[in-house]
Structures are given as structure tokens and as C-alpha cells.
């Protein structure tokens, strides 16, 4: 197998993506769920069977993402993408600006595709696997049905053709995606109640916000920011009231 071949990239990325999943989800799960407090909340803790299901789906999703990553690197080698390696090519300010733009684009793509996945005709095919955990854990963060994984990976493949991104920016976006996905699936009880209810937090999605989505399927479709949920009326009224009461208390 040649070191710059599509097959080599696929296998290498599969190792990296799986390693990242077990490291980040495993450490977070161990840290937040192995305490006595977590045991007392055992009625909300998912069974090992559900966790095994999440891990199996994540392993299949990792194959999809590895193929997507190999595709990106192969097309980059062929000079077809907008990825670049000289940090000064667009100015240093652009590294930050393109990072913000990538997150906003991904959040928008995620919101609308996620709403589509909840359409009764599509749900069983694309999104049921992710919702098997009513009370998600960090293991749920990457648990996508294969078709959903394809839709998510397509965003990253498409992005490198439309937005010039430095490699470091791309890695920063992928790291943010991983950390945020794990945070969103921590469950509502593992962080202080004030998180994320400070002024900036109202615009940011965290475990409390996304946990409500796993309980009520009709609200909270966003990934990073609450902007689209607030604009399009899919923010849970109970959650909004909680936010307001926190703002009044301050
Ligand atoms: Zn959903
Ligand atoms: Zn989820």
C-alpha cells in the first residue's frame, strides 16, 4: 500500500478517528459517570446495552468519516481543494475568521439537515440510531446511523471546496466538533446548573440544551449555537424561561 494512496489514508484516518473517539468519550465518561453522584442517578443512566449500541454505531460512522477524510486529502494532493498550508497566504486574521465562518456554516447545515432527519419518512433510515439513548452519554456523541454519517461527512468534503481553510484551521474545526459533541451529550446533571446560562451562554448549545432534544424530539436541533432554534421557534419554552429566570437573578 503506497503511503499517499487513498487506501493508506483511509486506514490511517480510521485509526486516528477511532482512537480519538475512545480517548475523548472514554475519558469524559470515566470522569463524569464514575462518581458516586452518577450512581445515585442510575435511573437516568443508560444501560450497557445502549452504550454498546452507541459504540457500534460510532465505529461504523468512523469508517464513513475516514473515507471522507481520505477523499479530502487525495483531492488536496491533486490540487483540487481550497485547503492551503502557508498561514500568511490570506493574512493571519483570516485563520480566525475562517474558523468562525466554518463553525457558522456547519451549525446552519446541521440545523436544517437535522430537522429533515426528524421527518417521519426519514427518521428510521437516518436518525433513529442516534436517539436510542434517551439519556445520552459521551459515547452517544459520534453515534450516527451510516446514512446520517454520510450526510454529516459530506459537509466537511463540500467545505474544503468552497472555503479556503488552512490545515491548522481545519484541525481546530474538527477538534471543536469533537469536544462540542461530547459536551452536548454529557447529560444535564454533570455540569453546574449555571452552565451555559450566562449572557453569552444563551447563544451557545450545551448539555442541558441538547439533553432536551433527546427527550422531546420536536425542539433543539442546533449543534453549536441557539441562533436557528431561537429564530425559527424550535427552542423549548421551558428552557427559554429557565434562561430568563437566570438573567433576572443576575
Ligand atoms: Zn435528533
Ligand atoms: Zn444527540
pLDDT digits over 54-102, tens only? 999 999 999 999 999 999 999 999 999 999 999 999 999 999 999 999 9
Residue 247 has pLDDT above 80, yes or no: no
CA of 187 to the centre of ligand 2 (A): 10
CA of 29 to the centre of ligand 2 (A): 15
Secondary structure (DSSP) of 143-157: ---HHHHHHHHHHHH
Phi-psi region of 69 (alpha: psi -120 to 50; beta: other; left: phi over 0): alpha
CA of 131 to the centre of ligand 2 (A): 7
CA 221 – CA 205 distance, rounded (Å): 10
CA of 112 to the centre of ligand 2 (A): 15
CA of 120 to the centre of ligand 1 (A): 12
Q: Which ligand gives the minimal distance to the CA of 57?
A: 2
Q: Which ligand gives the minimal distance to the CA of 122?
A: 1
CA 123 – CA 177 distance, rounded (Å): 23
Confidence of residue 155 (pLDDT cuts 50, 70, 90): very high
- Identify the sign of the CA torsion 172, 173, 178, 179: positive
pLDDT of residue 199: 61
Amino acid at each position: 500500500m503506497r503511503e499517499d494512496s487513498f487506501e493508506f489514508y483511509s486506514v490511517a484516518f480510521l485509526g486516528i478517528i477511532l482512537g480519538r473517539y475512545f480517548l475523548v468519550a472514554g475519558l469524559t465518561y470515566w470522569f463524569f459517570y464514575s462518581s458516586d453522584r452518577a450512581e445515585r442517578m442510575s435511573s437516568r443512566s443508560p444501560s450497557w446495552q445502549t452504550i454498546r449500541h452507541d459504540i457500534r454505531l460510532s465505529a461504523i460512522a468512523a469508517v464513513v468519516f475516514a473515507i471522507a477524510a481520505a477523499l479530502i486529502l487525495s483531492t488536496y494532493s491533486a490540487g483540487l481543494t481550497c485547503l492551503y498550508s502557508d498561514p500568511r497566504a490570506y493574512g493571519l486574521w483570516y485563520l480566525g475568521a475562517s474558523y468562525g465562518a466554518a463553525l457558522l456554516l456547519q451549525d446552519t447545515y446541521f440545523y436544517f439537515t437535522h430537522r429533515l432527519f426528524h421527518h417521519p419518512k426519514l427518521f428510521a433510515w437516518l436518525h433513529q440510531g442516534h436517539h436510542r439513548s434517551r439519556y445520552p452519554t459521551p459515547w452517544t456523541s459520534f453515534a450516527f446511523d451510516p446514512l446520517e454519517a454520510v450526510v454529516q461527512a459530506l459537509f466537511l468534503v463540500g467545505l474544503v471546496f468552497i472555503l479556503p481553510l488552512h490545515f491548522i484551521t481545519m484541525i481546530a474545526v474538527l477538534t471543536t466538533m469533537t469536544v462540542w459533541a461530547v459536551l452536548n451529550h454529557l447529560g444535564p446533571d454533570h455540569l453546574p446548573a449555571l452552565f451555559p446560562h450566562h449572557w453569552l451562554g444563551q447563544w451557545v448549545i450545551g448539555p442541558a440544551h441538547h439533553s432536551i432534544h433527546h427527550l422531546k424530539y420536536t425542539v433543539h436541533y442546533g449543534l453549536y449555537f441557539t441562533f436557528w432554534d431561537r429564530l425559527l421557534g424550535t427552542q423549548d419554552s421551558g428552557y427559554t424561561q429557565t434562561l430568563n429566570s437566570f438573567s433576572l437573578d443576575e
